[in-house]
């Protein structure tokens, strides 16, 4: 199966440390070698980098790892193909516009007998069940609120309801952001860790690399990292419960 990596923060933050460990899982320390991608926001704009090569040997991944990414919201994905050929059109993350914002989505899992009726506003370009599910989520939001952006609780309610329906067809772990808020849904495996003062040193599982966050942060910084499998071996990671949808904003869960 694929793996997910996400980050939500209260200040623009560098994801390079987490991405270094995640990149290794794309064909070096794990089997997810059928392409990779990352999407992150800079103001109201977004950048997407995708490649069909394994992330461990991708020149594009090396560019991203050394790129000074500082973003409030980031979503990355390494792929083990189950639906659709290995091609750029089937490589996560996917992006669509809704209510004047770019929405970025990545999925881990497999959906069977999933054939939703779409209105036509959002259509898949590729052949994956993942992009189809994304279009269906966007379709349900736009159909429920066609003229204006609703409240966060209203968005959450529609996503929770729709995610539950989709998850009946199989495994539906996903990350979704519009650059201001960040949603994470778990069917099976998804974990998060919150980094805030007092900051400590972290060590990657997949590479012998450490960083002392006390040296590269301020006392007010709050950073949540979400991953299919924990990326570090000396931090506390919280596992999502089955069927759980969490909305993160400013580096913290909302609606507790």
Segment 218-236, tens digit of pLDDT: 999 999 999 999 999 999 9
Band (pLDDT 50/70/90 cuts) for residue 31 is low
Q: CB of 223 within 8 A of CB of 195?
A: yes
Q: CB of 94 within 8 A of CB of 131?
A: yes
pLDDT digits (tens, 9 = 90+) for 124-178: 999 999 999 999 999 999 999 998 999 999 999 999 999 999 999 999 999 999 9
Q: Using CA atoms, how far apart are residues 66 and 53, in angstroms rounded to an integer?
A: 18
The percentage of residues in the chain with a pLDDT greater than 90, rounded to a whole number, is 73
Q: Using CA atoms, how far apart are residues 230 and 244, in angstroms rounded to an integer?
A: 18
23 CB-contact burial (10 Å; exposed 0-12 / middle 13-18 / buried 19+): buried
Domains of the chain, residue spans: 3-253
- Arithmetic mean of pLDDT, 185-212: 93
Q: Using CA atoms, how far apart are residues 138 and 29, in angstroms rounded to an integer?
A: 34
- Arithmetic mean of pLDDT, 179-186: 97
CATH superfamily of 3-253: Aminohydrolase, N-terminal nucleophile (Ntn) domain (3.60.20.10)
Residues serving a catalytic function are: 2
- Classify 239 as helix, strand or coil: strand
Angle at 176 between CA 174 and CA 181, to 5 degrees: 140
- Arithmetic mean of pLDDT, 76-94: 85
Q: Using CA atoms, how far apart are residues 112 and 155, in angstroms rounded to an integer?
A: 26
Q: Which of 74, 99, 111 is nearest to 158 (CA)?
A: 99
- Classify 210 as helix, strand or coil: strand
Q: Which residues pair with 245 in a beta bridge?
A: 185
Which residue's structure tokens are 């792929």?
79
Which residue's structure tokens are 């999933």?
114
Phi-psi region of 113 (alpha: psi -120 to 50; beta: other; left: phi over 0): left
């Amino acid at each position: 199966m694929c793996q997910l990596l996400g980050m939500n923060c209260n200040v623009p933050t560098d994801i390079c440390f987490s991405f270094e460990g995640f990149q290794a899982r794309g064909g070096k320390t794990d089997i997810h070698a059928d392409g990779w991608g990352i999407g992150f926001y800079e103001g109201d704009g977004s950048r997407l980098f995708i490649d069909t090569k394994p992330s461990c040997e991708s020149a594009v991944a090396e560019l991203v790892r050394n790129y000074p990414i500082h973003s409030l919201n980031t979503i990355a994905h390494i792929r083990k193909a189950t639906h659709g050929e290995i091609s750029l059109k089937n490589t996560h993350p996917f992006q669509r516009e809704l209510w004047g914002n770019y929405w970025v989505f990545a999925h881990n899992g497999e959906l069977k007998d999933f054939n939703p009726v779409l209105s036509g506003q959002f259509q898949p370009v590729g052949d994956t069940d993942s992009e189809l599910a994304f279009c269906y989520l966007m379709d349900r939001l736009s159909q429920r609120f066609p003229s204006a952006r609703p409240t966060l609780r209203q968005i959450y309610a529609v996503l929770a309801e729709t995610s539950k329906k989709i998850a009946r067809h199989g495994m539906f772990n996903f990350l979704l952001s519009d650059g201001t808020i960040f949603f994470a849904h778990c069917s099976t495996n998804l974990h998060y860790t919150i980094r805030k003062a007092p900051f400590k040193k972290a060590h990657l599982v997949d590479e012998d690399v450490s960083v002392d966050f006390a040296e590269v942060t301020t006392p007010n910084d709050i950073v949540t990292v979400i991953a299919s499998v924990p990326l570090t071996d000396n931090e506390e990671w919280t596992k999502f419960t089955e069927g759980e949808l969490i909305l993160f904003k400013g580096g913290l869960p909302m609606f507790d």
